[in-house]
Amino acid sequence: MAYYTRRRFTAVAGLAAVGAAIPLRYASAAEFTFKLGTNVPESHPLNVYARKAAEEIKQATDGKFELQVFANNQLGGDSDMFAQLRSGALECFTLSGVNVLSTLIPSAAIWGVGFAWKDYPTLWNALDGKFGAHLRSQIDKTGLVVMDKIWDNGFRQVTTSVRPIVTPADLQGLKMRVPVSALWTSLFKALGASPTGINFAEVYSALQTKVVDGQENPPAIISAAKLYEVQKYCSLTNHMWDGWWFLVNRRAWQGVPADLKDKVSTIINNNAIVERDEIARQNTALKTDLAAKGLIFNDVDPAPFRETLSKSGFYAEWKGKFGEEAWALLEESTGKLA
């Protein structure tokens, strides 16, 4: 039998009171643990706000739902993570519609039509409206769940190690890295370049070893991936916008109670909106920072590039591939392309 002095009893009682005051809501393991894979460096706003969403989700669900973020291709390249997502080995993945997703859903790539978008307001009105709803409906048919709000990657710019790109003629024969996507390859072939599809995880080394001489990405990625170390010129082409759908394995999602799903999806969508603002801010501010690191910028008139694409049959070809319905929804926002 334990024997307590008055002093020891007081100390034990005090510890018990402190313990009772500590919140217990995170004491047990989460009921639902979802892994999220991304393909950009840790410092990119996609990961910053995904982690912010994860913390908010943990608080809002009293620790019942945990979102674990694996940045920078920790779980594999895009093709690998997409396969994992579809099989259920990975619960969540942020994926471009123009990239691997278009191999399953060809119309998912339609937002990436070259030189289609004039500015962000036009883009967000389309993707948060009928155009975006149509694209999400196509994803739903594949057995995946897609969140309502798309995350921003930004308008893409061409960088090279050999020369600035001012007119389409400057792209003639240029060895360009493009994502593994038929649309990206078609776009740069139509402009006279020699494109090669390479997963993002291999881009830096491909540029460093001169497997390719150029690539195209928004400033936030050029900075985060330190591509300025292996590139000299950045031409502000704004040739394509790209972003990420937040995709979820449907079988995993169906196992989550409705009230938790509402909280999780609301928080993810809200953080997508904030991430958009941060990307737009960074893609403007980073030009000064990148110039200070040696990257040489030049402006580009898009008109000659659109004319080249039109004459080459690029717009007509992709209108046929995407179909009348999707193309009509696109042109409601962008104006006549083909």
For the chain, what is the radius of gyration of the CA atoms?
A: 24
Domain boundaries, the chain: 26-334
Cα gap 9→50, rounded to integer Å: 47
**121 to 128, 201, 280, 285, 333: CA distances (angstroms):** 11, 31, 11, 19, 10
Cα gap 257→64, rounded to integer Å: 11
The two counts, helices (H) then strands (E), for the chain are 14, 10
- Fold that domain 26-334 belongs to in CATH: D-Maltodextrin-Binding Protein; domain 2 (3.40.190)
CA angle at 122 for the pair 120 and 125, rounded to the nearest 5°: 105
**227 to 2, 83, 206, 224: CA distances (angstroms):** 68, 28, 11, 8
Give the pLDDT of residue 4: 40
The DSSP result for 153-220, as a single string, is: EEEEEEEESS----SGGGGTT-EEEE-S-HHHHHHHHHTT-EEEE--GGGHHHHHHTTS-SEEEE-HH
Residues 6 or more apart whose CB falls under 8 angstroms from that of 113 comprise 183, 240, 315, 318, 330, 334, 337
Cα gap 151→30, rounded to integer Å: 26
Structure tokens at 175: 């060895």
Cα gap 118→124, rounded to integer Å: 11
- How many other CB atoms sit within 10 Å of the CB of residue 172? 11
Tens of pLDDT, residue by residue, the chain (338 residues): 343 444 443 443 443 443 434 344 554 689 999 999 999 989 999 999 999 999 999 999 999 999 999 999 999 988 899 999 999 999 999 999 888 898 899 889 999 999 999 999 999 999 999 999 999 999 999 999 999 999 999 999 999 999 999 999 999 999 999 988 889 999 999 999 999 999 888 999 999 999 999 999 999 899 989 999 999 999 999 999 999 999 999 999 999 999 999 999 999 999 999 999 999 998 889 999 999 999 999 999 999 999 999 999 999 999 999 999 999 999 999 999 97
Structure tokens at 65: 């739902």
Give the pLDDT of residue 28: 62
This prediction's pTM: 0.84
> Which residue(s) pair with 69 in the sheet?
36
Structure tokens at 117: 């978008």
Residues 6 or more apart whose CB falls under 8 angstroms from that of 189 comprise 195
